[in-house]
Structure 1
Amino acid sequence: MTLQVLFDALMLGFEYSLLAVGVYVTFRVLDMADLTVDGSFGLGMACSAVLTVAGHPYLGLAVGCAAGALAGCVTGLLVTKARINPLLAGIITMTGLYSVNIYVLGAPNVSLLSTVRCFDPVVSALGGAATVDVVKMGFVVLVVAVAVAALAGFFRTEAGLAMRAVGDNEAMSRASSINTSAFKVGGLALGNAMVGLTGALLAQYQGFADLSSGTGMVMVGLASVIIGEVFGGRRSVTRGLMCAVAGSVAYRLIIQLALSVNLIDANALKLVSAVIVGAFMAVPSVRAALGERSVRIKAKGAMERLLAEDAQALKGGE
């Protein structure tokens, strides 16, 4: 793996890290499997592309984030007001967003290569002091750091603690006079806002927006979250957010390493993602099983020693 390939993998890892953060918010904080992700990712990308072509790249990032939040609100209302299962609500919103994305983009794909993107003014201001790739990396890392810090701060506030309580124990939260429906909608909006921002950033980074770009994003997000948790644990929300970012980078490095050694081809990426998610989700169960086995072996050894001591004592008494 060359340095350029490694740099590209790190860059993609940070690009998709807010997707992992968004999935973490819905999957771990709210304890809800949300499939809106595929649609909200594409919606954020479409909004960003259209506004960037119109000459407003920074507005494109903001609107992409807001559009993702709006998509999350729709899913939240379906869950809380229509009493639809969260999985089905996510599928309904995701399916509807495919048509919405077509209307927003106005074409199957839109190129941004000839337009001014969010990092271009920074490149011009530096006057060649840094390469375009370095500026892109710095810009994305800055956005990710600000977003993660803002979320970590929010989850320490009263509203953030209430949202975490709803995810931990909805019945107890309702008994404590917490408006669980509002916090569910808010949590889904918050998670999908991060997903929409990821799509908006990626459109400007790669230089185009495509209708099929959102396919399989929920699997990418889950893989990143699970990998981060395996290595970093689940001790706190702040740690979980940072582990989601680290998991996204690790996931991209694993994929790039597999491609570099010709272990897989590009057509098998989705299959590999599914295998990675399944394997890493099984790690806690395997650890628990090995721990139980170790405890049983120790208990058996202790019992055998006690029996041997009793037998020796009886023999000495005779």
Structure 2
Amino acid sequence: MSFYLTALLQGLCFAGVALGIFISMKIFKIPDITTDGSYTLGGAVTAVMLTHKLPFGLILPAVLLAGAAAGAITGFIHTRFKINALLAGILVMYGLFSVNLEIMGRSDLPLINTPSIFTILLISNNADVNTFWILSLFVLTITVLIGYLLKTDFGLAMRATGDSETMIRALGVNTDKMKIIGLALANALTAVSGYLMSQLQGFADINMGIGIVIIGLGSVIIAETLIGWLQITSVWLSLALVLAGAVIFQLVLAFTLDIGVDANLLKLVTALFVLAIVILPRLNFFSKQL
């Protein structure tokens, strides 16, 4: 059962990554690989500030600013120099590896006996229950804020930029600025996942972000599949399904380990699972003609 509890908690931690991928790939149609670097950046900034005993209230804002800066740089390179968004993200992600090493000063930074958000906030005396409720409230707050943003005029302009860039530009909207802000927001959310995960697992590691974009992408694809099957148009329900996708993704991996699959094959199983949820809706027996 511990597999599933861990999967649930990790799924909640990865909600920020899933929301970030949703914004970059589903709203702006930009494949942003900066995610791998900004996730580690969030964890690195968190670990360094915690170990230096800096005021806890400053850590989350610092993480958000760091992640937003990484995304904004990708957006600037893409829009200002007309470099392919995928390449721009790869370049920034690659550069962030060195930045994260410089921030931590080493390849990994343990947080043993260091206060965390899960120890300074007490909702329940049971550590696991306490962690669950803190993560749930944290994720719920972020989701409500993002949902509200997407319903505002600014959020509608963001969504229109991804749907029809030419049209929204003709209406006087600076689409390059929208893309930079969108990627900054997406990577700020991703950095928040690093902030949560480093505290949950008790350390930050330079390699913790490798392949993290696959987890976010898998979560969004699960949500997209459910949105298509259920024909959902509500922004709020779409965001809720993105969160559900993050948890489902982790539960599937937990089930894989629980039935005895070698942990060395976990990344292969992850790749096959993402492939399956991509092609499943395209199979003939899901056609509306039946």
> Normalising to structure 2: TM-score of the pair?
0.94
Query: What is aligned with 2:245?
Result: 247
Q: 1:288 to 1:153 in 2, by over 3 A?
A: farther
Query: What is aligned with 1:8?
Result: 6
Q: What SS does structure 1 have at the residue aligned with 2:63?
A: helix
Query: What is aligned with 1:182?
Result: 177
Larger radius of gyration: 1
Q: What SS does structure 1 have at the residue aligned with 2:125?
A: coil
**1:1-318 correspondence to structure 2 within 5 Å:** 2=1, 4-56=2-54, 57-123=56-122, 129-233=124-228, 235-262=233-260, 264-286=261-283, 290-292=287-289, 294=290
CA deviation profile, 1:26-65 (whole Å, cap 9, x unmatched): 0101111111000000101100000011113442222112
Aligned AA (1:75):
T
CA deviation profile, 1:92-134 (whole Å, cap 9, x unmatched): 00000000000001111001112111221223xx6xx521211
Instruction: Write the distance in 2 (CA, Å) between the matches of 1:287 and 1:173.
Output: 36
Two-structure CA RMSD over aligned residues (Å)? 1.5
Aligned AA (2:277):
F
**Which structure 1 residue ranges, 5 or more long, are not aligned?**
295-318
Shift of residue 288 of structure 1? 7.7
Instruction: Write the distance in 2 (CA, Å) between the matches of 1:155 and 1:282.
Output: 29
Aligned AA (2:119):
D
What number of residue pairs does the alignment pair up? 286
Q: Answer yes or no: is the 8 Å Cα contact 1:50–1:60 preserved in 2.
A: no
Instruction: Write the distance in 1 (CA, Å) between the matches of 2:121 and 2:143.
Output: 22
Q: What SS does structure 2 have at the residue aligned with 1:32?
A: coil
**Which structure 2 residue ranges, 5 or more long, are not aligned?**
none
Instruction: Write the distance in 1 (CA, Å) between the matches of 2:28 and 2:7.
Output: 30
Instruction: Write the distance in 2 (CA, Å) between the matches of 1:235 and 1:277.
Output: 23
Give identity over the alignment, percent: 37
Q: Answer yes or no: is the 8 Å Cα contact 1:26–1:34 preserved in 2.
A: yes
Instruction: Write the distance in 1 (CA, Å) between the matches of 2:53 and 2:108.
Output: 18
Q: What SS does structure 2 have at the residue aligned with 1:215?
A: coil
Q: What SS does structure 2 have at the residue aligned with 1:178?
A: coil
Q: Provide runs of 4+ in structure 1 moved above 3 Å.
A: 287-292
Q: Answer yes or no: is the 8 Å Cα contact 1:72–1:192 preserved in 2.
A: yes
Query: What is aligned with 1:311?
Result: none
Instruction: Write the distance in 1 (CA, Å) between the matches of 2:68 and 2:180.
Output: 10
Mean alpha-carbon deviation: is it higher for 113-122 or for 39-48? 113-122
Mean alpha-carbon deviation: is it higher for 29-38 or for 233-242? 233-242
